[in-house]
Structure 1
Amino acid sequence: MKVFTPVLVFQKMPSGKGRDKYSIQCLECFGKNLYIGTKEGVVEYLTVNNTSAEESLSVREVGKRQMGRSGAIGQLTAVPVLNHLLVLWDGSVTVLNMFSLELLPALKKIQNVSLFYVSESAVHTDSVELIAASTKRKTVSVYKVYVDRWECVRQVALPQEPVVLAAHGTCLCVATCDRYFLHDYQSQTTLDLFPHNLGKQNIIANKCGKGEFILNGPGCLGMFVMKNGTSQHPPVQWPDGVVDAAVHFPYVLALQNQTIHIYSILDQQLKQTVPLQSAKSLVSTEESVFVVADKEIHRLSPVPLEDQIEELVKSQRVDEALMLLDRLQDLLPKDSYKDLHKNVICTSGMIKFYREAFVEAKELLIKGELDPREIISLYPVMPVMSEDFTPQTTAVSNAKDLWMLSRDDWPTFQQYLIFLDDFLREVRPTRQGQMCPQDIDSALFKLYLEQGEYGKLDLLVSSQNNCNLQMCVPDLEKHKRFFTLGLLYQSQGQHFNAIQTWVKIVEEQSEDHSHISVFQHIVNTLSNLEHKPIIWKFVDWVLQRDQEAGILIFTSSHVTFAPEEVLAILTSYPLAMTLYLEYLVNELHSQEEKHHTMLIKSYVKWILQSNKDDYNNKTSKDEMRHKLQQLLWQSSFYNVDAIYDQITPSFLHVERAILLGKSGKHKKALQVLVHEEKDQQAAESYCWRTSAGRDRKFTQGMFLSLLQIYLESCQHVITAVDLLNKNAASFDLVSVLRVLPDSWSLKLVLQFLCESLRGTVHDKRMRGLEMSLAKVETLRHKHVWMEATHENIRVDRGCVCHSCQKRLTGPEFLRRPTGELTHISCHSGESGY
């Protein structure tokens, strides 16, 4: 994996005059400014004009300063905020101007310094902190450095001589001859970390992040240590003999003499090796990492993160790509991150797809918002309806040719078809699926049709869908799926074509075994349809085949029909007419005389016709007569005379009696029931039903009329006796005694007389009791009234009696509820109330 691109920045060419002693000892970089410290005590100032990663650089020498006759430059540090360049030479720190390399006389040298570290102040912008370590004195001194002065603010004693020094704020990371430790000079706390072997390994302690150090630990481990002593990253196992190390997140670079090993901090794996001769140190900046050799300086420029991720994806190292992308999310623009993330997720999903890990593949492809057409286009015979679609999925090495798989390994290909079904159905309602709804629905249609999954196919085309009719209609006709074709037409809003297709199935003009209740489906469709013209076109066809089913179109429809227009159509369909009239009367509670009269006439006509045709279904006839009688009794909106004329010459005596009763001809009605219907029970029931809700006198009159009819014929004596005995309370005793024949014996009517007398006595006693209770209630109210109104009052002389209009003489009076005055006596001596 290519993580960094090496570029030569500077190279010292041989002078050709004897032995060349030129050797680079240290390097400092700030922006385009490079400062080189040599073995001969020279500070060189260079500028780099091009910062491109792979193009050649233009380096220009700006200035040079000789610090002394001999002695190497130990360390260089630029302080841009003060325009200072700090130089460690000859055991002391000297300050030069960053751009002119002139000495600053106001800032004297700091003596006895073995190594130093500059920490920019987080509070003050006009100064920095210089941390200088002295090996001889075993101390660390903290200086506050200003533009024209510095001052020592603290000294820290060390247990041993310092070898390496780094700092984060007030926390020092110090390596001595045998161990590493952390010391906070503000809180005066020290934390031992771990020992090291100075004789066998190079001591490394460099600042590498916010509050973090990289150390060369025991066992050739690159240890990451926070300033509180903890670690946020696992150690990196790097090779033996590491000279220097630097961190350019998310990578750590370990320098050997001939090679740079680049590891990922995220997974601690080796990502790249860069061969470089005679390299001695690394300098990390925000943009890149510089490698210092004896006579050369190289720059390692990081490959753009997008390119790294794309390279990992191409090599199918998607887990690494995802980890790298997620950890460096903040370093990328939001849109760029989203696009990269989707690409990585989708590529991972495609790899899982070809590995037949279908559950994981589906989750990844949906999460990555893959265009469903990318998957559809992989399958043979699956249509992609969008003309402007071009596949753009990243190619993966384990891709299979599904066309060949469908021919050579059908069981495996079946699993891929199941995946396609699951994926498209799950992605269909999402925003991702709404980008190409026609492609998704057409692909599902093709899949279900070819696989013979007709249940799923009907469910798809009967719901809201975006199937392409030009493709689907010929396919359904080819497979003879005409019912499904009708469902497709219906879902696309072509209701006439849908119903016409189903009509052909019912009329056996086409063959389709997909559905056994096509006719009922047509009825249900017409019932739920809101387009009247289509309903009128097919309603006759339905009624001709099944009047009971056809009437549901009107009684269950979402469309409101005018009763007159429906009745006009139903003229030729008597059963449907009757059912619709029942719907008007019983369900809609129509009060129109026409509807009630027509319904009764239809009942009568049906009953008479069935009797004429010697109709055998007596149960149906009895049920129809019962419905007729109930309607005659309950309805008050029909034309009594018209119905009476229709049934007079027929056997419908009970119905004729009801009609006579409606006209107030109760005695004649009873005569019909007794003499023509010959049904005494019906006559008695007629009396009770007619008397319901009427007074006692009317009831007694009805039963007396029935008794008189029985008494007119000697054949009904027993019936008359039974009527008296069973309904004694319904007769007036005196009236009965007047009409009874003289020839009847007392024994014959004894039971009636006893019951009647008992009832009469009981009624008299109850009336007396009720009267007594009423009197008591009246007295109680009078008592309450007297208690509430009785009080003494006084009036002036000259008041006049309300009763006799004379002057009052008595001193005591009563006030009545109306405010009028009454008195005990007036001037004339009369009493007034």
Structure 2
Amino acid sequence: MAAIAFTQTHIYTKRAGPKEKDKYCIQCLERFDRNIYVGTKDSMVQHLTLAQAQAQAQAQAQDQARECRTRKLGPNSPIKQLRTLPLFNHLLVLWEQCVTALNMFSLEPIPALKAIQHTSCMEVCPRSSSSSTPKTPCRPEGDCVELITSSSRRKVVRIHTVWVDRWEVLREVSLPQDPVSLAVDGSCVCVATSDRYHLFDYHAGSTLELFPHDRSRHQGAILVPTGGGEFLLNAPGSLGMFVMSTGTCQRPPMPWPQEVLAAAVCFPYILALQPRGLSVYSLLDHMLKQTVTLDGARGLVSGPEGVLVFTDRQIWGLSLVPLQEQIQALVSCQRLDEAFFLLDGVQSHLQPHSYEELHKDISYLAGVDQFNQQAFAEAKDLFIAGNLDPREIISLYPDMRPCLGEEDFVSRYVETAGQKVRDLPRLQREDAVAYQLYLAFLADYLAIVRAMGWGGPREAVDCALLRVYAEQGGAGEAESLRLLVASPNACRLDCCVSVLEHYNRYFVLGMLYQSHGNHIKAIKTWVKIADGHFEDPCCPDVYEHVVSTLTTQDIDVVWMFAEWALQKNQEVGVQIFTKRQQDNNDHNTEEILKFLKNYPQAYLLYLEFLINEQKSETESHHTELVLAYVIQTLQAFSGQDEPPEAGETRRKLQDLLWSSMSYDVIAIHQRIRATRLHVERAIMLGRSGDHTQALRVLVHEGRDPHAAQAYCHRAAQDWSHVSGPQDEAGLRRTLLLTLLTMYLCSDELAGEALHLLRDNTRHFPPGRVLELLPGSWSVGLVCRFLVGSLRETLHQRRMGALQRALAHAECLRHKVLWTQASKTMVKVQRGQMCQACQKELTESFICTVRGELLHTSCINTQNH
């Protein structure tokens, strides 16, 4: 197979002795670090040591293990098991149904440890005495190891605690049948009896009976701990069952061949030994990954880096190929799904950096495969999931090399996938429609990478994204391009300016200058667009954009473009002064006013801004605005026999004359004295207190009865802000009587007097009016006024009576509440707090109608 899991090496061969009959035959193995212990058929224990790593490469043709010591235990009886206790440098030997302890290096017996008799099998589980087993009164503290043995005479399994100089039995677990073999994982022991498996936890004291097994002459019970409280057992039907310590299965059974002699786990693989070879299965998907031919194999021993397999006279090593190399081999063979599956399965056994690099490699190759097939959604997901450097994708596109920067970017995938990536330069020349699809993918992918905040060089991403948006040219891409340069970006000017100029994206070019802090150059670019020097098909109203931008710039920048902005449009251009953040600098204000003198409309708008929004009380500002209104109003009068009665400018003028107290009255009066602005003259006379003269101007010069009547109401209303509602009514009554007297003095104005009475019935005192009316007027003329006046008087009287009744009822309601509250008992507990000051009630207090307790001194602070 192109991708292999294990490599086979020769470890040791026992050379035939000089005697005719050499009975040497390996029965079992045990390994610790570079030490290998061999148990033979003729009761011999042999110690081998592996060569150093640097010497193994020079000894491929000869044994990699050398013989150190050998010890003959007794008569020719096979050694069944060997187990090491590195904590104490002990080697446990199961021989002739006894467990004997030897020194790991000298192979000398340990006198203090007497043999454990009548033992059929054993397993070691090293643990700390303080954390692994319960403490007993007779058991001293110290490091210890737990040993599990099965009895050859009784149906029990014993748990021993082994110290450096003794061991003792902690407990026994009874079984329904004689134990045949066992395996240990933590405190859980899996035991095979003559026909089935059993699980028991010797700490929790729980026992569980499992399924039967096929134990025959050719195949025994197989028990292999896989880690995490899980065991691999051989079940009927040539199946490998994965059973948890709880008795449940979290993986499906694994089919394996007939006559499996032994099995071992070397993550992420399971090795099944057969008479003529060894099969390697994946622990992740249970598929066969590799086969190794080994004639006459008898058993195997697993380790962290591989497996030792032995025959009668030889020992072979199967070293696990590093997981990174396995994954890279699968990637090289384009078996990407297998590579992904293996990588995810072994993630916990890899360094984070190694996992990330491998994931990038697989993601890139798998994404390129989808990329070539135009499966862009799948390719994008793979590139993003692999946290791929986006420059790898950018480098695939023609004309994108400048986006990668001055430093040459070297792709890590050129050699592995360079010949397998679609030829985009050729596609650009031959099929423009298909190439646009690839451009759309690049834009979508880079936009997502940018939004995710990729930690690499952002210049390449932003420059490439800008180029793609500019090249595509659609309405959606134009908006995306503006959003890109409007936000904080890392676009390089040396790369992006020429691109935007080539595709006539001058408005975006100005935004790019602005995002890099070059505001003057940005505004100059937009000015050229507004003046027609540049053509931009995707440009909005650039003039208003320039004005809006100037409102946020320093005053020095504003003066550079102020004349251009006002020459284009005074009404919009003045916003560069009115909508900018004001610094309350009088010098700047006067300088602006001086500049705006040449732009009348802008000048007037700026004065309105100072008075209405900035609330300026400067006399010159108010006077200048009034004069500007007067000039505009008089210009509207030109060519007309009669001045217009309504107009926005004149309305503003009259409102300002009424409301402002800061303008120069003399200067304004001199300006309008010889004009037809009678209403304005009357307002100014009224502001000086000469209401009679103001009414004469309106009645005799202006001949405007409506304006005279409106003047009475407006003057009284303005006076009420100073003297109150009562004085307002009195002043209105006085002004109306004065106006009525003027009308009655002239026979021509008698009709206006009658209209005045009818329109203001409620404001005229009937007695006073009757005194002023000429005796020649009939009752019929003033009947309407008299009826209305009487009705108003009666209405006011009834309303007054009703208000008095309501006030009396409200007073009675408060008296009832006060009476009820005064009869209620109030329970005050120790530590009760005042609701107002939150201090203890240690002085006089009251209870409000709401039930709140307050100090008498706190009543005024609460609105009760």
Provide the TM-score with structure 2 as the length reference. Answer: 0.78
Instruction: Determine the structure 1 residue equivalent to 2:24.
Output: 22
Is 1:640 aligned to 2:698, yes or no?
Answer: no
CA contact (8 A) 2:566 2:573 kept: yes
Is 1:12 aligned to 2:14, yes or no?
Answer: yes
Instruction: Determine the structure 2 residue equivalent to 1:420.
Output: 442
Which amino acid in the other structure matches residue 391 of structure 1?
S
Is 1:445 aligned to 2:463, yes or no?
Answer: no
Instruction: Determine the structure 2 residue equivalent to 1:551.
Output: 574
Alpha-carbon shift at residue 545 of structure 1 (Å): 2.3
**Closer, same or farther in 2 for the Cα pair 1:125/1:322, shift >3 Å?**
farther
CA contact (8 A) 1:116 1:131 kept: yes
Give the greater-gyration-radius structure (CA): 1
Q: Which string of whole-angstrom CA distances, capped at 9 and with x for unpartnered residues, describes residues 198-240 of structure 1?
A: 1464443344435443333222222233444333433322222
Q: Which string of whole-angstrom CA distances, capped at 9 and with x for unpartnered residues, describes residues 702-735 of structure 1?
A: 4454345445544334444554566577667887
Question: SS in structure 1 opposite 2:315?
Answer: strand
Alpha-carbon distance in 2 for matches of 1:9, 1:519: 86
Range 369-378 or range 669-678, more displaced: 669-678
Instruction: Determine the structure 1 residue equivalent to 2:636.
Output: 610
Q: Which string of whole-angstrom CA distances, capped at 9 and with x for unpartnered residues, describes residues 387-418 of structure 1?
A: 33322248348533333333445444333322
Alpha-carbon shift at residue 277 of structure 1 (Å): 3.2
**Closer, same or farther in 2 for the Cα pair 1:274/1:51, shift >3 Å?**
farther
Q: Which string of whole-angstrom CA distances, capped at 9 and with x for unpartnered residues, describes residues 283-313 of structure 1?
A: 1233432111122112222223333333334
Instruction: Determine the structure 1 residue equivalent to 2:404.
Output: 385
Instruction: Determine the structure 1 residue equivalent to 2:655.
Output: 630
Instruction: Determine the structure 1 residue equivalent to 2:5.
Output: 3
CA contact (8 A) 1:193 1:229 kept: no
Alpha-carbon distance in 1 for matches of 2:287, 2:245: 25
Instruction: Determine the structure 2 residue equivalent to 1:716.
Output: 749
CA contact (8 A) 1:128 1:146 kept: no
Q: Which string of whole-angstrom CA distances, capped at 9 and with x for unpartnered residues, describes residues 777-808 of structure 1?
A: xxxxxxxxxxxxxxxxxxxxxxxxxxxxxxxx
Range 186-195 or range 530-539, more displaced: 186-195
CA contact (8 A) 2:211 2:235 kept: no
User: Pairwise mapping of residues 72-471 of structure 1 onto structure 2 (< 5 A)?
Assistant: 72-90=78-96, 92-103=98-109, 114-120=120-126, 122-123=132-133, 125-126=143-144, 128-129=146-147, 131-134=149-152, 163-167=180-184, 173-182=190-199, 187=205, 189=207, 191-199=209-217, 201-209=219-227, 211-382=229-400, 383-388=402-407, 389-393=409-413, 395-396=416-417, 399-432=421-454, 434-453=455-474, 454-471=478-495
Alpha-carbon distance in 2 for matches of 1:23, 1:391: 57
Question: SS in structure 1 opposite 2:451?
Answer: coil
Instruction: Determine the structure 1 residue equivalent to 2:600.
Output: 574
Alpha-carbon distance in 2 for matches of 1:730, 1:88: 127
**Closer, same or farther in 2 for the Cα pair 1:558/1:352, shift >3 Å?**
farther
Alpha-carbon distance in 2 for matches of 1:756, 1:341: 96
Q: Which string of whole-angstrom CA distances, capped at 9 and with x for unpartnered residues, describes residues 547-603 of structure 1?
A: 111122222123446432221111111111122222222233322222222112112
Range 504-513 or range 689-698, more displaced: 689-698
Instruction: Determine the structure 1 residue equivalent to 2:71.
Output: 65
CA contact (8 A) 1:532 1:559 kept: no
CA contact (8 A) 1:116 1:132 kept: yes
Alpha-carbon distance in 2 for matches of 1:659, 1:677: 15
CA contact (8 A) 1:133 1:140 kept: yes
Which amino acid in the other structure matches residue 65 of structure 1?
R
Instruction: Determine the structure 2 residue equivalent to 1:589.
Output: 615
Alpha-carbon distance in 2 for matches of 1:460, 1:313: 37
Range 659-668 or range 587-596, more displaced: 659-668
Alpha-carbon shift at residue 253 of structure 1 (Å): 0.8
Alpha-carbon distance in 2 for matches of 1:251, 1:757: 111
Which amino acid in the other structure matches residue 309 of structure 1?
I
CA contact (8 A) 2:574 2:602 kept: yes
**Closer, same or farther in 2 for the Cα pair 1:539/1:296, shift >3 Å?**
same
Which amino acid in the other structure matches residue 79 of structure 2?
I
Q: Which string of whole-angstrom CA distances, capped at 9 and with x for unpartnered residues, describes residues 255-290 of structure 1?
A: 123322111212112222222232211012334321
CA contact (8 A) 2:403 2:495 kept: no
Alpha-carbon distance in 2 for matches of 1:595, 1:471: 51
Alpha-carbon shift at residue 334 of structure 1 (Å): 4.5
**Closer, same or farther in 2 for the Cα pair 1:6/1:630, shift >3 Å?**
same
Instruction: Determine the structure 1 residue equivalent to 2:506.
Output: 482
Question: SS in structure 1 opposite 2:527?
Answer: helix
CA contact (8 A) 2:7 2:318 kept: yes
CA contact (8 A) 1:181 1:194 kept: no
**Closer, same or farther in 2 for the Cα pair 1:748/1:723, shift >3 Å?**
farther
**Closer, same or farther in 2 for the Cα pair 1:714/1:158, shift >3 Å?**
closer
Instruction: Determine the structure 1 residue equivalent to 2:35.
Output: 33
Q: Which runs of 5+ in 2 are unaligned?
A: 134-141, 721-726, 809-864
Alpha-carbon shift at residue 252 of structure 1 (Å): 1.2
Alpha-carbon distance in 2 for matches of 1:702, 1:145: 121
CA contact (8 A) 1:728 1:755 kept: no
1:673 to 680, 693, 698: 698
**Closer, same or farther in 2 for the Cα pair 1:365/1:78, shift >3 Å?**
same
Question: SS in structure 2 opposite 1:43?
Answer: strand
Alpha-carbon distance in 2 for matches of 1:361, 1:148: 65
Instruction: Determine the structure 1 residue equivalent to 2:563.
Output: 540
Which amino acid in the other structure matches residue 387 of structure 1?
E
Alpha-carbon distance in 2 for matches of 1:147, 1:706: 127
Alpha-carbon distance in 2 for matches of 1:377, 1:129: 62
CA contact (8 A) 2:37 2:48 kept: yes
Instruction: Determine the structure 2 residue equivalent to 1:829.
Output: none
Which amino acid in the other structure matches residue 73 of structure 1?
I
Aligned-pair identity in percent equals: 44
**Closer, same or farther in 2 for the Cα pair 1:67/1:689, shift >3 Å?**
closer
Alpha-carbon shift at residue 681 of structure 1 (Å): 2.8
**Closer, same or farther in 2 for the Cα pair 1:366/1:284, shift >3 Å?**
same
**Closer, same or farther in 2 for the Cα pair 1:409/1:236, shift >3 Å?**
farther
**Closer, same or farther in 2 for the Cα pair 1:699/1:83, shift >3 Å?**
closer
Alpha-carbon distance in 2 for matches of 1:364, 1:534: 49
Alpha-carbon distance in 2 for matches of 1:203, 1:177: 9
Range 169-178 or range 474-483, more displaced: 169-178
CA contact (8 A) 1:523 1:552 kept: yes
**Closer, same or farther in 2 for the Cα pair 1:252/1:488, shift >3 Å?**
same
Which amino acid in the other structure matches residue 248 of structure 2?
T
Question: SS in structure 1 opposite 2:403?
Answer: coil
Alpha-carbon distance in 2 for matches of 1:97, 1:688: 122
Alpha-carbon distance in 2 for matches of 1:173, 1:104: 29
Q: Which runs of 5+ in 1 are unaligned?
A: 777-833
CA contact (8 A) 1:5 1:53 kept: no
Alpha-carbon distance in 2 for matches of 1:273, 1:53: 28
CA contact (8 A) 2:463 2:491 kept: yes
Alpha-carbon shift at residue 451 of structure 1 (Å): 1.0
